[in-house]
């Protein structure tokens, strides 16, 4: 498999991007359970989950290890959803959310939202970020030695060899 950190372009570093699904649910008891049960027994890992609740509906943000399969499952179950690209950042020892935010603020990048992902990767916490310029954010975070992960890094089969170095 290709390393997450070998995506060079003529314009510079192109960070690995992950598909986040924004799933719209009726605000009824049991709807979140019905949603997550769709992924049970499937060949993917539900890596991220964030719920935004409103009076009559909820928006569930999902990040998985296999976006194409997740897309097909959501379509098969007739669930309304929208997709956006996010960065997944691993906070390794010596790194913090404060350092991550400072690096992006210094570049005058807006963080629209961030949320932790389920589980850890080699001991580091994982954070999903939606920012106004994914490529620039990826370049800055890479220079600051943050590891950016692709969807194949989020599954049960991800190994250190597939993840590549923190920076090139």
Q: What CATH number corresponds to the domain at position 39?
A: 3.30.2130.10
Helix (H, G, I), strand (E, B) or coil at 105: helix
**Range of the structural domain that residue 41 is part of:** 19-84
Average pLDDT over residues 107-111: 95
For 145, residues 6+ apart whose C-beta sits below 8 A from its C-beta are 95, 166, 167
Over residues 119-135, the pLDDT tens digits come to 766 668 999 999 999 99
Backbone φ and ψ of 61, nearest 5°: -90, 130
1 domain-assigned? no
> What pairs with residue 75 in β-bridges?
none
Pick the last residue of a domain from 50, 66, 84.
84
Q: Is the pTM of this model over 0.95?
A: no
For 72, residues 6+ apart whose C-beta sits below 8 A from its C-beta are none
Separation of alpha carbons 116 and 68, rounded Å: 22
């Amino acid at each position: 498999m290709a390393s997450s950190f070998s995506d060079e372009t003529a314009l510079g570093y192109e960070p690995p991007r992950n598909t986040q699904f924004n799933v719209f649910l009726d605000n009824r008891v049991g709807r979140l359970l019905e949603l997550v049960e769709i992924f049970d027994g499937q060949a993917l890992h539900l890596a991220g989950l964030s719920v935004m609740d409103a009076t009559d509906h909820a928006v569930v943000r999902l990040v998985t290890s296999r976006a194409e399969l997740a897309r097909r499952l959501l379509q098969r179950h007739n669930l309304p959803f929208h997709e956006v690209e996010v960065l997944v950042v691993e906070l390794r020892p010596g790194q913090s959310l404060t350092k991550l935010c400072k690096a992006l603020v210094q570049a005058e990048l807006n963080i629209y939202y961030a949320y932790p992902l389920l589980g850890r990767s080699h001991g580091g916490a994982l954070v999903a970020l939606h920012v106004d310029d994914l490529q620039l954010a990826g370049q800055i975070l890479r220079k600051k030695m943050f590891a950016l992960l692709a969807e194949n890094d989020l599954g049960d089969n991800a190994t250190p060899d597939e993840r590549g170095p923190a920076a090139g």
